[in-house]
Amino acid sequence: MRQPTRGPFDAAPPPAAARLLPPASVLLASLITTWPFIATFPSLPPFGLMMLLGWRLTRPDVFRIWAPLPLGFFDDLVSGQPLGNAMLLWTLCFFMIDLIDQRLVFRDFWQDWLIASGAIGFCLIVGRLVAAPLGAHVDTVLLLQIVISAMLFPLVARFCAWLDRKRGGE
């Protein structure tokens, strides 16, 4: 988010591969829906969103505020939701996290987990309202999907931290 100009004593910016790793990992997580498996009800957690939140909450500086736009656009193309759904909702999540960053200054992982669960629940519920008609009987499985996704978030955050270490983040 914050990209100060580099002074003469600052460290060199990371190489291109290290800068491209976070967005690439989010794109790959979005592509999990192309795994050859025909679901009869919404069962797969939104891994693209979870990866994005994982990066945003562990390393606030890797993604600019507008990063969810292209990533969400790609996710909409593969997820089956109407186009613009993730673009809008993911950016709103980033705005909310940005606000929380200023109010809630010292945070623990518990708070991060709560924020991520809220964001996942928000995106899934609004996405359901947008995509499926109100009378559809998907609410129970949607609740299940939200709970599973929230439970899986620590793993995803851990994975993001591991990737961050591998790419040589300080």
Q: How far is the CB of 38 from other proteins (least distance, A)?
A: 4
Residue 99 found at the interface with other proteins (CB under 8 A): no
Residue of 17, 28, 65, 99 that binds other proteins (CB under 8 A): 65
Question: Which of these ranges, 10-18, 84-92, 151-159, 160-168, lies near other proteins under the rule CB under 8 A?
Answer: 84-92
Q: How far is the CB of 45 from other proteins (least distance, A)?
A: 7
Q: CA 143 → CA 118, 128, 153, distances in Å? A: 13, 11, 15
Residue of 114, 132, 147, 152 that binds other proteins (CB under 8 A): 132
Contacts 24+ apart (CB under 8 A), 28-31: 30/71, 30/74, 30/75, 30/78, 30/79, 31/78
For 38, the 3-state DSSP assignment is coil
DSSP state of 81: S
Residue of 18, 96, 114, 138 that binds other proteins (CB under 8 A): 138
- Cβ proximity to other proteins: between 24 and 130 the closer is 130
Calpha distance 16→33 (Å, rounded): 27
Residue 8 found at the interface with other proteins (CB under 8 A): no
Residue 46 found at the interface with other proteins (CB under 8 A): yes
Calpha distance 138→16 (Å, rounded): 42
Calpha distance 109→86 (Å, rounded): 25
> Hey, CA dihedral for 125, 27, 75, 68, is it positive or negative?
positive
Q: Footprint of other proteins on this chain (CB under 8 A)?
A: 1-5, 31, 33-47, 60, 64-66, 68-69, 72-74, 77-85, 87-88, 91-92, 94-95, 101-102, 105-108, 112, 127-128, 130-133, 135-138, 140-142, 145
